[in-house]
Amino acid sequence: MSNNDLPKGESASLIRQPLLSSSQRSIVNSTSQVAIVGANVCPIESLDYEIFENEFFKQDWRSRGVVQIFQYICMKWLLCLMIGVIVGFIGFCNNLAVENLAGIKFVITSNMMLQRRFLLAFVIFFASNLILTLFACIITAFIAPTAAGSGISEVKAYLNGVDAPGIFTVPTLFVKVEIDVRSTLAGPWLARSSLFIRLSIIGSITAVSSSLLVGKAGPMVHTGACVASLLGQGGSKRYGITWRWLRFFKNDRDRRDLIVCGSAAGIAAAFRAPVGGVLFALEEMASWWRTSLLWRAFFTTATVAIFLRAMIDVCLSGKCGLFGKGGLIMFDAYSASISYHLADVPLVFILAIIGGLLGSLFNFMTNKVLRMYNVINEKGIICKLLLACLISIFTSCILFGLPLFASCRPCPPDAVEPCPTIGRSGIYKKFQCPPHYYNGLASLIFNTNDDAIKNLFSMNTDNEFEFSSMLIFFIICLSLSILSCGIVAPVGMFVPIIVTGASYGRMVGILVGKRSNLCHGLYAVLGAASLLGGSMRTTVSLCVIMLELTNNLLLLPLIMMVLLVSKSVANVFNANIYDLIMKAKGLPYLETHAEPYMRQLTVGDVVTGPLQVFNGIERVRNIMFILRTTTHNGFPVIDEPPGLEAPVLFGIILRDHLITLLKKKTFLPTPAANNYDVLRQFSSDDFAKKGSTERLKIEDIHLTEEEMGMYIDLHPFTNASPYTVVETMSLAKALILFREVGLRHLLVIPKIPGFTQLSFVHGDCRYRPW
């Protein structure tokens, strides 16, 4: 019954054949509205954002009183507040841990270097990196494999309607102990999710601290989405009130909204960029948007920003160990007024074009490397870990070895900070150099990425870095960030791209020299913007994030121009990095934009059969049979009213709801409509969206032979007002409907009744080949 064999773009022939051998149906050659339903034929679970208007829904949701609506609205904002505070706290802890872990490592290494014990320094550096990397990879590979990589692609796929198994939870097998411990407090799903968050965060912290060129933004987004999903799902049945208040959120629509807020909070916490976070969620991640969601996302990120501010207030008194005073990665290096003129624009234009080319090259290489790694990773966990070790070893050697060959530069007499820097951060790292000399390359390498960016972005440091070390650093960054992004640890790519881009910009700045009014730090900012634009292909959100990072709005016109140019250039070559990763991971994604060939095809061309439909009052046996033999998530329900010769479309019913009905066993002995008393036997909780691991499968339903012969009245549970299109509608137009309204199922109706067409539009899994 698989329907995957429809070739791309080829017209499916209209299949005329009875669906089932059951005698009560004779659709063939009968007339009128025959429905065609979209269904999902792949293991990835699809989410349904449509308002499911059935009798049950009307009785439950639509009958909400003022108090319940008030509860619902309050809960929405309260949940956003909680997401903001929790994500803010996680983001702060993340930074704190990274700064301290990596800081201690660098301090020890530096001290060894000062004592000229190079080998020991190298061993410490090497071993600590390896241990941290291995730790990150082991917890990821063994316990939370879906946390690997930048989580942005997974979240983007989720918001597009594809719930890949376990992207917000840990697989059941490995968390038995955890569940036992926590099950008194909340349901197992809750425990699994919160474990997932902690693992993801610990993995991210250790990976970032291990000198791999990886970022924390992606994992933070994933974590934020996870927190949101957890909170929306949260609350146990044991605590009546919590459950009462949260029951309205147990559906795909509300959870999607919360996850949008959570992912915006993730970016906001990673970069302390609240507006940028909202815009990133809007521009890059969410497939569906409305103004009220914008406000809630904004509220969430505002909470994050205020919470971070409070935490930094606490840290300013020096209680946070090596955590710097600058406050997260806000590089407010540009409080001074900068000036630029129209004469600088052509140069910046060229920088942006090359940045766009580099961005698309980065995407191309990353894609290749990811696909290669995929092959390696499929060979088992040992291979994954070996790969990670290999990369860690390579990284350590490169990072430690190359600065040894870099030339030492004398400390500038008017340096703003002590030179060489003995401590955590700073522009002037002594490394192997004699006193009063510093090693420019080491200054960049033996710092956290955040500090390296800060150094690169800083003003009045035009003479601190020489071209050769900048070039080496750029090549190191480019290659290591490409190599590191595919390891089995929660690693992002935002920060590596910024570092690489900043070094590229500095390089351009050094090359241009005095021919331009712009300082090298500004070139670094523009370089970072160009590489980000070339790789991520968003404009407004990146622009705002760059502004929030540098805290100078005077840069705005230049950054806007750079982003637009680099994005346009890179678009010629390939897709944005998250789409490439999604493809590499096999996550389906429905693009907003219709491809040209979709304008030539009608929906009638792509539907195929056979169609599985149910009668309004259907025999249990048939339902069991169809559910077992197909993987569709939705089925049309038809009626044969007396006096009409042809069946009539009644609506669409979902697999989940059918399974719930079968589980309750409210069957009828005869095929007569019940008078909706059956509704009282169900509570909204029965049809509420469940956590992915709690979900019942059709295989779990066991019925007696007697029950199999009985009937179910599907009418009260059928969505009686599904969205329908006529078969002559072009695919492009149907796509707009699909995307804009956030549909998962679309009924295709034949133009001319009396001409039976049994066919269906493919569900989520089929969108990619379109």
Q: Tell which positions 285-344 bind a copy of itself, by CB under 8 A.
A: 289-292, 294-295, 298-299, 301-302, 305-306, 309-310, 313, 332, 335-337, 341-342
Considering only residues 37 to 66 of the shown chain, the ones binding a copy of itself according to CB under 8 A are 51, 53, 62
Contacts of a copy of itself in 539-578 (CB under 8 A):
539-540, 543-544, 547-548, 551-554, 556-557, 560-561, 564, 567
Nearer to a copy of itself, 400 or 457 (CB): 457
Work out whether 517 is an interface residue with a copy of itself (CB under 8 A).
Answer: no
Closest CB to a copy of itself among 26 and 292? 292
**Least Cβ distance, residue 598 to a copy of itself (angstroms):** 11
Q: Are 492 and 220 in contact (CB under 8 A)?
A: yes
And the tokens for 249? 């959120």
Binding segment for a copy of itself among 212-220, 385-393, 591-599, 662-670 (CB under 8 A)? 591-599
- Rg for the chain, CA atoms, rounded: 29
- For a copy of itself, the closer of residues 430 and 739 by Cβ is 739
Question: Which of 191/734 has CB closer to a copy of itself?
Answer: 734
CA angle 730, 734, 738 (to 5 degrees): 165
244 binds a copy of itself (CB under 8 A): no
Give how many residues touch a copy of itself by CB under 8 A: 81
Q: Which of 600, 629, 681, 683 is the binder for a copy of itself (CB under 8 A)?
A: 600
CA distances from 298 to 277, 295, 540, 541, 544 (A): 8, 5, 15, 13, 14
Q: How far is the CB of 57 from a copy of itself (least distance, A)?
A: 10
Q: Does 372 bind a copy of itself (CB under 8 A)?
A: no
> Tokens at residue 436, please?
């009063």
How far apart, in Å, do the first and last CA atoms of the chain sit? 20
Looking at 117, 244, 740, 769, which residue binds a copy of itself (CB under 8 A)?
Answer: 740
Give min distance, CB of 290 to a copy of itself, in A: 6
| 3-state helix/strand/coil string of 489-516 | CCCECHHHHHHHHHHHHHHHHHHHHHHC
Residue 593 buriedness (CB in 10 A; 0-12 / 13-18 / 19+): exposed
Sole binder of a copy of itself in the list 17, 592, 681, 683 (CB under 8 A): 592
The span from the CA of 9 to the CA of 7, in Å, is 6
Q: Which residues contact 409 (CB under 8 A, 6 or more apart)?
A: 437, 438, 439, 440, 464, 466
Burial class (CB in 10 A: 0-12, 13-18, 19+), 32: middle
Find the shortest distance in angstroms from Cβ 301 to a copy of itself.
Answer: 8
Task: Enumerate residues 125-154 that contact a copy of itself by CB under 8 A.
Answer: none
**Segment (H or E) for 749:** strand 747-749
435 binds a copy of itself (CB under 8 A): no
Rounded to whole angstroms, the Cα distance separating 554 from 561 reads: 13
How far apart CA 704 and CA 662 sit, in angstroms, is 12
- Of the candidates 222, 256, 83, 255, the one whose C-alpha atom is nearest the C-alpha of residue 153 is 222
Q: How far is the CB of 247 from a copy of itself (least distance, A)?
A: 18
How far is it, in rounded angstroms, from Cα 324 to Cα 311?
Answer: 12
Q: Which is nearer to a copy of itself, 47 or 385 (CB)?
A: 47
Structure tokens at 747: 């009924």
Question: Cα(271)–Cα(550) distance, rounded to whole angstroms?
Answer: 11
The reply to whether 107 sits near a copy of itself by the rule CB under 8 A is no
Closest CB 87 distance from a copy of itself, rounded Å: 15
Residues 637-696 that bind a copy of itself (CB under 8 A): 641, 643-644, 646, 648
Query: How many CB atoms are located within 10 Å of the residue 681 CB?
Result: 10
Residue 338 CB, shortest distance to a copy of itself, in Å, is 11
Decide: is 460 part of the binding site for a copy of itself (CB under 8 A). no
Nearer to a copy of itself, 88 or 527 (CB): 88
Identity of the residue, 553 or 672, whose beta carbon is nearer to a copy of itself in the bound complex: 553
Site for a copy of itself in 62-91 (CB under 8 A): 62, 69
Q: Is 436 in the site for a copy of itself (CB under 8 A)?
A: no
Number of helices (H) and strands (E) in the chain: give both, helices first. Answer: 27, 11
CB of 654 to a copy of itself, least distance (A): 16
**Nearest approach, Cβ of residue 724 and a copy of itself (Å):** 6
For residue 750, cis peptide bond before it (omega within 30 degrees of 0): no
**Residues 521-540, interacting with a copy of itself (CB under 8 A):** 539-540
Contacts (CB under 8 A) with a copy of itself, residues 1-40: 32-33
Neighbours of 368 (CB within 10 A): 13
Token representation of residue 300: 């969430």
By the rule CB under 8 A, 281 interacts with a copy of itself: no
> Residues 437, 440, 441, CA angle at the centre, nearest 5°?
135
Residue with Cβ nearer a copy of itself (51 or 672): 51
If you write DSSP's letter for every residue of 363-394 in order, what string do you get?
A: HHHHHHHHHHHHHHHTT-HHHHHHHHHHHHHH
Q: According to the binding rule CB under 8 A, does residue 470 interact with a copy of itself? A: no
CB of 295 to a copy of itself, least distance (A): 5
Least separation in angstroms between CB 732 and a copy of itself: 7
Q: Scan residues 741-760 and list those touching a copy of itself (CB under 8 A).
A: 741, 749, 751-754
Binding of residue 405 to a copy of itself (CB under 8 A):
no
